[in-house]
């Protein structure tokens, strides 16, 4: 544990601390950000109404489009002379969301990223290879400052140049790897081509995040690297990586909730949901000075685990691995379907993640789902019956896991549209009519 006093704080004490921090936060937001003042006034809530953490439910939500409308600096509560860093989202769906950090914000974030690394057992003696992108994206710099805070040696690789990543991983005796899970698989693939045996390296933990992944991918990564693969969560609006991280129990991500207060709500009604129930994850950044985020709707679907204290000794609550996003959740014949579930089935069958596309349509009053899967060499056979058996197996597994019957269509490689390296996963034709 990097900071036992904070991470193992008795729960009543933690709630009290959260309440005090919330009071300060709300006051700062109300006094410095016209956006919040207007929202609070519209809801008829004053900073004085907030006395404990339970009062958080009185506050209005902050939505991503609202955040975006404040471009560039409308959400800032601190003057530029106090801002020491600016990050921004990629802005693929419009103007980016811009976050300014004060020195305290950067320090707190580094503290949480250091706690994340320590969740995997990292100490000052470790060499941490950071293969997240450095730049406006928070992944690289977030983990970099975390590694330094921990006293470990940060290796700022950024992403790409995979052969060099592998060479230095080996020659520098890297013990901790930070990157996206799909990039980890890419590294393993290139290492195999280079005839490098990754299993001989002194790696012990990996912090993988910034994109949805599955238990099947974790198993695969742990077969390819001699490390414990841990899920890390963060988003640029809230801070960056290090909002939550799995401990070595590999069962849920500890939220560093003395800084980031989590809630789960019903995405339709906004009503708070009890622990153990699936809903939309909402964060309040209790200590943020630059951009004091209040009840920010992340659109990520997960739940707060309700299975009691964690054996690792941390008292913070844990969230489950992300189950999808409210904006890519599909409702097919009344059943909630996430692309990540389809992906999970395909990875289990094929051992690798194939390119796929989910096409949803409506015939008469009935929703239809088709899954197009690109046939790779590993899947291909010169015999019709084997390809048909593969198709039937996918169909059966989807039906078993998702409770939805889908038409499976095998398609040629490179026929599914890719945008900026990310494949488009869903085509919902129902919305077009």
Partner 1 sequence: MKVRQISIFLENRSGRLASVLKEVGRAGVNIRALSLADTSDFGILRLIVDDVDKGVQALKGTGHTVSLTEVLAVEVPDRPGGLAGILDALSAAGLNVEYMYAFVCRATDKAVVVFRFEDADAAIAALKKAGISILPAETVYAL
Closest CB to partner 1 among residues 78, 375: 375
Helix (H, G, I), strand (E, B) or coil at 33: coil
Closest approach of partner 1 to the CB of residue 376, in Å: 6
Closest approach of partner 1 to the CB of residue 369, in Å: 16
Closest approach of partner 1 to the CB of residue 333, in Å: 23
Closest CB to partner 1 among residues 378, 420: 378
Within its chain, how far is the Cα of 9 from the centroid? 25
Closest CB to partner 1 among residues 327, 392: 392
Closest approach of partner 1 to the CB of residue 406, in Å: 14
Closest CB to partner 1 among residues 101, 356: 356
253-255 and 318-319 strand pairing: antiparallel
Closest approach of partner 1 to the CB of residue 108, in Å: 48
Closest CB to partner 1 among residues 164, 407: 407
Closest approach of partner 1 to the CB of residue 427, in Å: 17
Q: What are the angstrom distances between the C-alpha of 104 and each of 27, 201, 291, 297?
A: 18, 37, 12, 24
Closest CB to partner 1 among residues 277, 415: 415
Q: Which residue has the tokens 């207007």?
A: 38
Residue 415 CB neighbour total at 10 angstroms: 11
- Euclidean distance between CA atoms 143 and 134, whole angstroms: 10
22 in Cβ contact with 56 (< 8 Å): yes
Helix (H, G, I), strand (E, B) or coil at 122: coil
The vertex-107 CA angle with 101 and 108, nearest 5°, equals: 90
**Alpha-carbon dihedral 66, 67, 70, 75, rounded to 10 degrees:** 130
Closest approach of partner 1 to the CB of residue 347, in Å: 19
Q: What are the angstrom distances between the C-alpha of 16 and each of 12, 180, 290?
A: 6, 36, 23
Closest approach of partner 1 to the CB of residue 392, in Å: 12
Closest CB to partner 1 among residues 88, 357: 357
Helix (H, G, I), strand (E, B) or coil at 428: strand
Closest CB to partner 1 among residues 43, 415: 415
Residues at the interface with partner 1 (CB under 8 A): 375-377, 380-384, 387-388, 391, 409-415
Closest approach of partner 1 to the CB of residue 362, in Å: 21
Burial (CB count within 10 angstroms: exposed 0-12, middle 13-18, buried 19+), residue 393 = middle
Closest CB to partner 1 among residues 8, 387: 387
**Alpha-carbon dihedral 217, 219, 225, 229, rounded to 10 degrees:** 80
Task: Read off φ and ψ for residue 344, nearest 5 degrees.
Answer: -60, -45
- Euclidean distance between CA atoms 24 and 50, whole angstroms: 10
């Amino acid at each position: 544990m990097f900071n036992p006093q904070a991470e193992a704080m008795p729960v009543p004490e933690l709630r009290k601390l959260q309440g005090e921090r919330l009071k300060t936060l709300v006051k700062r937001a109300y006094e410095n950000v016209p956006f919040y003042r207007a929202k609070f006034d519209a809801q008829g809530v004053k900073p004085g109404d907030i006395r404990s953490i339970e009062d958080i439910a009185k506050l209005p939500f902050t939505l991503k489009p609202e955040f975006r409308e404040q471009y560039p600096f409308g959400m800032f509560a601190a003057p530029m002379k106090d801002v020491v860093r600016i990050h921004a989202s990629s802005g693929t769906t419009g103007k980016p969301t811009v976050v300014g950090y004060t020195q305290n914000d950067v320090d707190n974030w580094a503290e949480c990223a250091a706690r994340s690394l320590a969740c995997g057992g990292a100490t000052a003696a470790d060499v941490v290879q950071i293969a997240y992108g450095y730049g406006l994206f928070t992944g690289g710099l977030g983990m970099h400052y975390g590694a330094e805070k921990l006293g470990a040696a940060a290796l700022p690789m950024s992403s790409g140049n995979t052969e060099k990543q592998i060479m230095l991983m080996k020659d520098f005796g890297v013990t901790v790897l930070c990157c996206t899970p799909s990039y980890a698989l890419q590294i393993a693939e290139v290492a195999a081509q280079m005839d490098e045996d990754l299993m001989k390296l002194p790696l012990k933990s990996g912090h993988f995040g910034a994109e949805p992944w599955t238990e099947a991918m974790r198993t695969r990564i742990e077969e390819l690297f001699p490390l414990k693969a841990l899920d890390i969560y963060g988003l640029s609006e809230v801070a960056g990586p290090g909002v939550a991280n799995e401990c070595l129990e590999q069962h849920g991500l500890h939220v560093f909730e003395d800084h980031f207060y989590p809630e789960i709500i019903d995405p339709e009604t906004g009503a708070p949901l009890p622990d153990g129930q699936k809903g939309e994850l909402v964060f309040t950044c209790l200590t943020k000075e630059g951009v004091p985020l209040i009840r920010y709707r992340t659109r990520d679907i997960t739940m707060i685990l309700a299975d009691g204290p964690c054996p690792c000794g941390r008292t913070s609550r844990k969230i489950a691995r992300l189950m999808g996003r409210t904006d890519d959740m599909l409702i097919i014949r009344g059943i909630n379907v996430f692309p990540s579930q389809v992906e999970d089935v395909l990875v289990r069958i094929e051992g690798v993640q194939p390119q796929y596309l989910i096409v949803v349509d409506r015939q008469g009053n009935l929703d239809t789902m088709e899954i197009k899967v690109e046939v790779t060499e590993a899947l291909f056979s010169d015999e019709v019956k084997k390809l048909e058996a593969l198709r039937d197996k996918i169909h059966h597994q989807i039906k078993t896991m998702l409770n939805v019957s889908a038409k499976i269509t095998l398609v040629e490689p490179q026929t599914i549209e890719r945008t900026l390296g990310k494949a488009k996963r869903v085509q919902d034709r129902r919305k077009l009519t």
